[in-house]
Each structure stands twice: as structure tokens, then as C-alpha cells.
Structure 1
Amino acid sequence: MSITTRDNLLDIRRIYLEPAATELPRGQEILARYPDAELIEIAGHHRIPELYGDERNVARWVRIKTEALVLGVKKSLTARPNGRSADFIAPSTANGCAMACAYCYVPRRKGYSNPITVFANIDKIVAYIRRHAARQGVKSEPNQVDPHDWVYDIGENSDCSVDATISRNVRDLVETFRDLPGAKASFATKYVNRDLLDWDPRSSTRIRFSLMPAADSKLLDIRTSPITERIAAINDFVAAGYEVHVNLSPVVVRDGWLESWAELLEQLDDALNAEARRQLAAEIVFLTHNERLHEVNLGWHPQAEEVLWRPDVQQAKRSQTGGYNVRYRTGHKGRYVAALTDLITAKVPYCRIRYAF
């Protein structure tokens, strides 16, 4: 029998696997978790023709996310400087996602399908992070990321709360940072996984719950935990020893958008206790969309594109990789940012804004 997560996010029926991953303890643990899954050997986790690059998969977008899992080995281990959400982006233990947010940037790179890929060489990843953190030494001066610790984003290309339902990789990272002097883990999530409450992070992991108005989330945050559930979880995660911030992202400009954000901030204020308020901070990211993702979305969720693809208020921007992105027009966006930050100051004045763009 296949194992399913709460909310039936995953019902794994096929595992695409690199042979090297099956030789590792973590790979063997994952295979044992899904004993009835069909096993399909692959040459590399990036080279799966039936998943990536086949436009016919658009119609099966959610089904593939539900039923397929890729098991591989992370070959390139680097910690990239960041400076916004974290000081460094840690080498990933997974990419892809079981959820299907219409604005997610990861599918831009992977083509017409985006199931979870889990990397089995967790021991090498943890060892690399330990060495990298040791080389940094003590943080010499505070910055907007953190006043004391070097912060490593451990979930840039996946949602760690969902990844934790598949393997121990995320728990291994949380426990690593718990005992790593001068360093802290961080990840954004749209999924409330209360199993994490028992991990004893000792303030060395920062969880950023992603929030947006409920109407926007219903349209754009497909297969995620409801906004009310995310807000309700904040006090419990703070009490469990996590640092909890909010990721107000993406901010989508539409008719009545500011009024919707005011309602959301009032809900947040009503829910938080004193301990959660004392440590709260926010990062704000306005929507950037992508032409290729726009075309993919038209094949499975065209309603989302009515608010995401807005040539009347957006301007084109070439990405560093040559892609065609759109973002809110210069001048207008500055006013949008100012309006939202002023609203945050009025509604939740204790919430420090780490950055907004």
C-alpha cells in the first residue's frame, strides 16, 4: 500500500532512481517507505524525458506531483551568497514540490513537470554545511538577515515541511544547526507539518510562514495549507523553539488588493500571542512572473493568469539566464511597496520589515 501524507498531497506510485542513491542508507530508507512503488532506473535526476520537457504533461501537472518521486544524488555542493532571505543558500536536499503554486519559479527550469526530487547523500551535504559554517567564524556585524548568526536557507527549491513527510533529511538539517555555533537554518513554507514541533530546534531554525490574502491563496496557492491554518500554527512553532517570521509573498496587485492585505494583517494580529509578536519579522516580495511559466499555466490553470499576467501594469525584464520575466512597472511598484509597508506599520507595528521589493 502506498503511503499518503495528510491532505493526500502524495500517493507515490513511481520512483525514478539513480542507482547510486539506492546504495546509500537514506535512499534505502525512502525505498522501504514506498514498497509498492514501481521503480524506474534513470541515468540522472535531471534527465528524465517523460517528466521534463514533454508539453503533454501540462494536463497531468498535479497528478505527476502526487504520484511521482525522484531519488537522486546531489553532485555539486556549494553554498551561494544570498543576502535577502539568508546569508547563504545551502546545497539542497530536495527540489520540486507536491504543491502547485501558480507563481512558483522552479518549474521554469524543469519544464512541464515538477515532482519532488530527494537527494540521498544527506551525510555529504551535512558535512559540507558544517565545514562551510566553520570557515565563516563569528559574524562580525549584524545585517538585515540576522544580528548574530550566519543564516542558511535550506529550502530554496522545495518546501521543507512537505519534504519532511518523505525522509529524515530536513530533520537531520534542523538537528545539525541546533548544534552548529554561529549558524542558523531557515526555510519558507506553505504547509503546516506539526510533526516538526517535536524536533527541539533550540532557536537555531527560522521558519518563514508564507502568507497572502485568503482569496489570492485560494486561486494561486494550489494544494497548500489554508492561510488560517498557517497563522494559527505560528504561536505553537514559537513555543516549540523555532524562530518564526512571515513571508508576505508574492504580493499580487489587483482591484482591492490593499484592502485584502489589511484584512489579512488584522487576522495575524488577532492570532499572535506576546511571545510570537516579540520575535516577528517579515520579508515582502512583490510578484515577478515569467513568460514560460505563463504558457505552462495556461495549460492547467488559466484562471490564475488573469491576475498574474497583467501587461497593463507590468514591464518586461530579462533574467540573468535570458528568460523573459515581467514585474510591476518602475514608479508604480515603489508606490505599491510604500502603501503595503505603511499598512504593516499601522496594523502590526511590532512586526519588523526585514526587506521589501
Structure 2
Amino acid sequence: MDALFDIRQIYLEEAVRDYARGQEILARHPNAQLIPVDNHWRIPQFFGNEGAAEEWLRIKRETLILGVRKTLTMRPNGRSADFIAPSSSNGCGMACAYCYVPRRKGYANPVTVLVNIDDITRAIIRHAGKLGWKTAPNQIDPAAWVYDLGENGDLSADALLSDNVRDLIGIFRDLPNAKGSFATKRVNRALLDYDPRGRTRVRVSLMPPEMARRLDIRTDPIDVRIAFIDELVRAGYEVHVNFSPVVVHENWQAEWRSLLHQLNDGIGAAAKAQLKAEIIMLTHNAALHEVNMRWHPRGEDWLWRPDLQENKKSEGGMINLRYRHRWKGRWLGQLRDWMAEIIPYCAIRYAF
């Protein structure tokens, strides 16, 4: 298995054993310690585990959680996708310092694989069938309804743990009015054999290599991610890029211009012909700052900039730190101008 994981403990709901996918995953790890739990979300060892910050990377590498998805709701989105599909997993094997996803399962946030994948795929197929054809283009896609498949994790990494990702990509081959979509920072060449036939969009996340080395912990290097774009396109994926997050500091302009040149030089004509981008400025918060100071304080030199940031209440009710409004628009405008100059073929689907 990829060095990202070395599974030694598996926490599992009892019902997991009743599903073929659960049985398959357990068979992959015959020597792992099995620890029964009542609910895959409520595991005392991980809830609020900021006190175990020093152990996070070990927990992510050695721990797997197996559960059964309880709800199958499609949530409207409007940014990366038209809908957020019910996830087949949550948590992540990577440890990006700015990630604000960890909440209910503790900050270490190890991967949970949800084994009732057939329920999830059937729910997506039913939902797309009821929608019919998209009648008007939008910034997400001109013709297809797009479903985000990996809101709370990285499906390229998940594919190291089970066949859930293969199954999800497989259903979209036969959905003429819909596409799947997920973002990734991991190069997993197993994806090249999944035969997506243009119906799955992979959003490759990029930031300047200097900043990625500081903040994108346990991810693949930026040059490796860029080189993977052409491979994905040849394999039949639609490939977009996420410029995410944009971290502003004293040398950020030079770093981002260099990244755009690196991208332009690193991909071929086929990738350029279909490339689009999302731009996401950094969001941070005080609670994550305090936790990061326990395990990766150097990263906070770049993330925690009260001189540049202000509080803003999120749609979910959290108080976050974002770049000051009067400056953020100016910085986004600069990045848009550089893209128009260096990668003019790459349309921007949205930016915030």
C-alpha cells in the first residue's frame, strides 16, 4: 500500500460486517486491531483531540474507521458543484495546516470509509434521473449537473483504502446528464484505470511550491501534481485546477506568477484546451490557530496574519479570519490579471 497509510487499528460499527465492502476492507488488513464502536462519528479517543496534536500524523497513518452512511441527502452547492453528494468517506490521510474540516471527529480527523456504497450510488442515480437535463448553463458546467463526491476528504487518497472511488466514477459513465467531481492533492495512478469517459472532473489543488512545503503536510509535491494533469486528461478525466488556498504574504506575488508559469510549461495542449480554475483565498480561525501552535507552529507564521485579516461569520455560523475585504478584492484582481497574461486559455469558474 502507498506509504500514506499503514493501518494498524480499525474502529468499526458492528453493521460494517454485513456489507461486502466492509468485508473487503477488513480482509485487506488481517493484522489490524479491531475496535468496535457504536457510531463512527462518536469515538472518544478522537473527539476534541487537540491535546493529541503531537500524535496526529501517526493517527492518520495507522488508524482507519469504518461506518455506515445514515443519510443520503443531496445538498445544493453552487460553487464547485451543483450538489454535494452524500460522501462515501470523511477525514483525510493528509494534514494540511489550514484545513478547517476537522470538527466532529477531532482535529486528527483520520479517514472514515462508509461501506454502504451501493446505497450512495443508487441515491445519486435516482437524484440525477429526477433532475433530467440541465436547461441552462452555469459557471459550474454548461450542460451537466455536477456532484461533488469528496467534500470532506481526498478521494485519490481514499482510493488507496477501498474501491468506493472506482464505484462512484463508474456510475457517472452511464449518467448522460451528470458528472462527478472531487479535489485532490494526491497522485494515485490507480485512477488512470477507472475509465471515466469524460464524466468525472478532477480538481487538482495547486499553490506555490514554497508555500506547499510549509503547509501541505503529507501531500504530493506541486511539480508531481502538475505532471499528473496530462496523465489524467489522457485517461479520460476532465481536469480543472484549484488555486487554493491563496496565502498572502510579502512575496506572494512573485510566487504565484512563478506557479502560473510552471503550470503553463508543465501541461500539454489537450489539458490546456479544457482547463478551468477555482480561486479560494485563505480562511483561518482562532481555534485552529491555537491547535496548530501545538504541532506545526511554523505554519502559523504564514496563516495567522491579523495585520491582514478580519473576522467574518461563515454560512455555517463559525467566526473565521479572512483577508480584509478592501484588500481581498484587489489581490483577487491581481491574480486574475496574471492568469489572463500567463494562462489566458484557463477560464475562472469562481473565486472567493
The CA deviation at 1:292 is: 1.6
The 8 Å contact of residues 47 and 104 in structure 2, kept in 1 or not, is answered as no
The residue identity in structure 1 corresponding to 2:167 is D
* Residue aligning to 1:235: 230
The whole-number CA distance in structure 2 between the counterparts of 1:48 and 1:108 is 13
The CA deviation at 1:321 is: 3.8
Q: Unmatched 5+ residue regions in structure 1?
A: none
- Residue 102 (structure 2) pairs with residue 136 (structure 1): no
- Residue 48 (structure 2) pairs with residue 53 (structure 1): yes
- Residue 174 (structure 2) pairs with residue 179 (structure 1): yes
1:116-163 per-position Cα deviation (integer Å, ceiling 9, x unaligned)? 000000010011001001111000010000001000000110100000
* TM-score normalised by L of structure 2: 0.98
Q: Any idea what SS the aligned residue of 1:315 has?
A: strand
The CA deviation at 1:51 is: 1.4
The whole-number CA distance in structure 2 between the counterparts of 1:273 and 1:338 is 26
> Which consecutive aligned stretches of 4+ in structure 1 deviate over 4 angstroms post-superposition?
none
Q: Any idea what SS the aligned residue of 1:57 has?
A: helix
Q: Any idea what SS the aligned residue of 2:102 has?
A: helix
2:217 to 219, 222, 230: 222
Q: Cα–Cα, structure 1 residues 176 and 236, in superposed 2: closer, same or farther, change >3 Å? A: same
The CA deviation at 1:237 is: 0.7
The whole-number CA distance in structure 2 between the counterparts of 1:313 and 1:67 is 38
- Greater shift, 287-296 or 249-258, is seen at 287-296
The whole-number CA distance in structure 2 between the counterparts of 1:305 and 1:265 is 25
- Residue 260 (structure 2) pairs with residue 270 (structure 1): no
1:76 to 55, 60, 71: 71
2:278 to 271, 280, 283: 283
The residue identity in structure 1 corresponding to 2:341 is A
The whole-number CA distance in structure 1 between the counterparts of 2:299 and 2:277 is 25
The whole-number CA distance in structure 2 between the counterparts of 1:85 and 1:300 is 31
- Residue 12 (structure 2) pairs with residue 29 (structure 1): no
1:168-217 per-position Cα deviation (integer Å, ceiling 9, x unaligned)? 00000000011112000000000010111111100000001000000110
The residue identity in structure 2 corresponding to 1:172 is D
Report the RMSD for the aligned CA atoms in angstroms.
0.9
- Residue 115 (structure 2) pairs with residue 123 (structure 1): no
Q: Any idea what SS the aligned residue of 2:137 has?
A: coil
Equivalent pairs counted in the alignment come to 352
Q: Unmatched 5+ residue regions in structure 2?
A: none
* Residue aligning to 2:256: 261
* TM-score normalised by L of structure 1: 0.97
Percent identity between matched residues is: 60
> Where do 1:79-94 residues align within 5 Å?
79-94=74-89
1:19-46 per-position Cα deviation (integer Å, ceiling 9, x unaligned)? 0111100000000001100000000001
The whole-number CA distance in structure 2 between the counterparts of 1:55 and 1:198 is 39
The CA deviation at 1:283 is: 0.4
The whole-number CA distance in structure 2 between the counterparts of 1:28 and 1:128 is 22
The whole-number CA distance in structure 1 between the counterparts of 2:231 and 2:249 is 33
- Greater shift, 109-118 or 120-129, is seen at 109-118
1:223-257 per-position Cα deviation (integer Å, ceiling 9, x unaligned)? 10100000001111101100000000000000110
* Residue aligning to 1:147: 142
* Residue aligning to 2:35: 40
1:313-339 per-position Cα deviation (integer Å, ceiling 9, x unaligned)? 000012344422100001100000000
The CA deviation at 1:290 is: 1.7
Q: Cα–Cα, structure 1 residues 109 and 341, in superposed 2: closer, same or farther, change >3 Å? A: farther
The residue identity in structure 1 corresponding to 2:218 is R
